[in-house]
Amino acid sequence: MADQRWFYRTLDEWNAIAERLKQTPCPHCKSVGMLIQHGHLYGFDDSSPQRKTLRARRIFCSNRNRRRGCGRTFSVWIADKIRRLSLTTRILWTFLQRAVAGSIVAAIRATGSLRSDRTWQRIWKRFDRAQSAIRTALSGRGPPPELPIESTRRPATAQVLAHLQAAFPNADCPIAAFQFSMRSFFV
Ligand SMILES: [Zn+2]
């Protein structure tokens, strides 16, 4: 995948990334030895609606003090966060499963009306656009499972979700596992 993203699941995984920063090439300019920690990205999401939580850590390819980095920054995301949406992968997984099994309206209700209907409709569209890329990424890990044809109103989407679950059978949240393993945003 050309545009690989960085994710971590646990503090141990983050610490391992942080310790290796000096030996890690910058994803933009490929220089080694220029990456330094550059703060945090906090935001609201369903894991803690009252308080901002850590969503990503920023890394800077330093061009200060005569360092030869490119001066660009990038994020190392916590694997269970959805970028640009104040959501975790877990609530998105719940929403998508319900949307496939029944209707979008029922799916919105299943999330406890955490966001407005319009927001969820937008999220659905964003997922819909991402579906073929998700399918392609998953096919690298194995074929989609067979599904009974009459099982759902949205067979193609049901197939993608079943494929996702089959690809990460032991994952707490298959979407977080997807982001971490594929080094790519789910939506
Ligand atoms: Zn760089």
- pTM, 2 dp: 0.91
181-185 own/partner pairs: CB under 8 Å, 24+ apart: 181/141, 182/1, 182/137, 183/1, 183/4, 183/5, 183/6, 183/7, 184/1, 184/3, 184/4, 184/5, 184/137, 185/5, 185/82, 185/83
CA of 16 to the centre of ligand 1 (A): 20
Residue 1's pLDDT band (boundaries 50, 70, 90)? very low
Summarised one tens digit per residue, pLDDT across range 99-125 is: 998 888 989 988 887 788 999 999 999
CA of 40 to the centre of ligand 1 (A): 19
pLDDT at residue number 149? 64
The single residue listed with the structure tokens 């719940």 is 94
pLDDT at residue number 49? 76
Summarised one tens digit per residue, pLDDT across range 132-169 is: 999 999 999 999 898 776 667 788 889 999 999 999 99
CA of 25 to the centre of ligand 1 (A): 8
The single residue listed with the structure tokens 């982001």 is 179
CA of 19 to the centre of ligand 1 (A): 18
CA of 18 to the centre of ligand 1 (A): 16
CA of 110 to the centre of ligand 1 (A): 43
Instruction: Fill in the amino acid letter for 11.
Output: L
Ion ligand 1 residue ranges (Cβ < 5 Å): 26, 28-29, 61, 69-70
